[in-house]
Structure formats: structure tokens, C-alpha cells
Amino acid sequence: MLLQTGITENQASTIGNLTMKHPSGLRLLAAPPLPLPADRLTGAHVNSILDVMQKKLRFLVVDMPPALSSASIAILEKSTKIILISSSDPLSIQSTRSTMESLKKYHDKFELLLNNITPGKQVSADKVEKTLRLPVTAQIPYHADALPNKLKGMPAVLSQPQSPFVSTLQQVIRTLLTQKRKTR
């Protein structure tokens, strides 16, 4: 049903029914259990779905696949922000740099989040900024329980809502939302 263009109002309500709703008000339109072949989900399909969802939602966040396709290009074209998440290890920084180069057309939309996924000394945010020539919007601190909790299906925002890790995530979200309001 979602793989068509020119979605009608009735079909638009079906999209809403396909989303899972969290008590907080967050809605999730999950990917299908098996990935679709790249040629089945086109940019036109994605545009139709995004048009419907943007009318119904105040904010829309899309977790992008690592590969570029006509569908992902359509998402990038419609986005107001592209949030690049990098850790501070050299391999991650190089990967982020390559991604930025591939997506240089969208450079004005980039926001950089530095995710500290390992304990101990990290490459400084200043050095990451110099290397990528992009300011770090926010840093997500290392949290030892983040991965084990996630694997148990209980992310830190639910299991430890008062932790410094969750406080930082909340601040990151506030920062991004505030910036969005200023740019509109």
C-alpha cells in the first residue's frame, strides 16, 4: 500500500494507522521485517509518504540507511537538518568525512553529534571539528549501561531517566529543536 505515489486522504490515514505510538506521543513507522529491493522503494514513493507525514507531525526523524538510493536522496532533499553521528575514533571520523564529501550538496543542513561509545580518553571535540571542518553541535557522553540496556529492550531513557547520559540526550534534542525554530 505504501509503495505508490499520489496517496489519497484515505490512504494517508492508513499510514497513521501503521505507526506504533508510545505513551510519550512519539510515533514510529518501522521498516518491514525484510528489506525491500532498492528498486521497489523509489524517491517518488518516499516523497508521497513524507508529504503525508509532514502534514500530520510537528517533527519527523528518519533513520537513514548507510547506502544512497533514490529513496534516500528524496529524504535528504526534503530534510531541514542532516544529523551526522560520529564517534571520536579515527576510523569513524574518516567515515564521517567520506559521508560529508559524498553529501557535500547538503553541507548547509549538517549537524554533527559526537557519540562517545567507549570509556576513557577520546579525541577532543576541537580536533574532530578541525578535521571535519564542522562544529560539533553536541556530545553524547559514554554510558556503560547504554548497550546492555538496549540489548535487553530497555533503553537508558526508560531504565535510567535521571542519568547524566539521558540528561545530555534531552539537551541535544532541545538544542536541535531550538535551532530548527530559528531557521524556519
CATH number at 180 reads: 3.40.50.300
In this structure, what DSSP letter does residue 179 have? H
Please tell me whether residues 59 and 127 are part of one structural domain. no
Please tell me whether residues 23 and 92 are part of one structural domain. no
* Mean per-residue pLDDT over the chain, rounded: 81
Please tell me whether residues 67 and 97 are part of one structural domain. no
Please tell me whether residues 99 and 56 are part of one structural domain. no
| Residue given cell 505507526 in the structure block | 19
Please tell me whether residues 20 and 61 are part of one structural domain. yes
Please tell me whether residues 117 and 69 are part of one structural domain. no
Domain extent for 151: 80-184
Contacts 24+ apart (CB under 8 A), 69-76: 69/38, 69/41, 70/42, 70/43, 70/46, 71/38, 71/41, 71/42, 71/43, 71/45, 71/46, 73/43, 74/42, 74/43, 74/44, 74/46, 74/47, 74/50, 75/46, 75/50, 76/103, 76/106, 76/109
Question: Of the candidates 79, 112, 129, which is a domain's last residue?
Answer: 79
Please tell me whether residues 111 and 155 are part of one structural domain. yes
Residue 82 has pLDDT above 90, yes or no: yes
Please tell me whether residues 85 and 74 are part of one structural domain. no
Please tell me whether residues 87 and 70 are part of one structural domain. no
| Residue given cell 578541525 in the structure block | 130
Q: How far is CA 140 from CA 50, 82, 83, 90, 93, in A?
A: 28, 17, 13, 17, 15
pTM of the model: 0.77
Please tell me whether residues 29 and 1 are part of one structural domain. yes
Question: Of the candidates 79, 105, 139, which is a domain's last residue?
Answer: 79
Give tens-digit pLDDT for 40-80. Answer: 778 888 888 888 888 878 888 888 877 888 889 999 999 99
Please tell me whether residues 70 and 113 are part of one structural domain. no
Q: Positive or negative, the Cα torsion across 69, 29, 4, 32?
A: positive
Question: Of the candidates 33, 49, 79, which is a domain's last residue?
Answer: 79
Q: Report the domain count for the chain.
A: 2
Region of poorest pLDDT, from 3-17, 77-91, 92-106, 114-128: 3-17
Please tell me whether residues 26 and 73 are part of one structural domain. yes
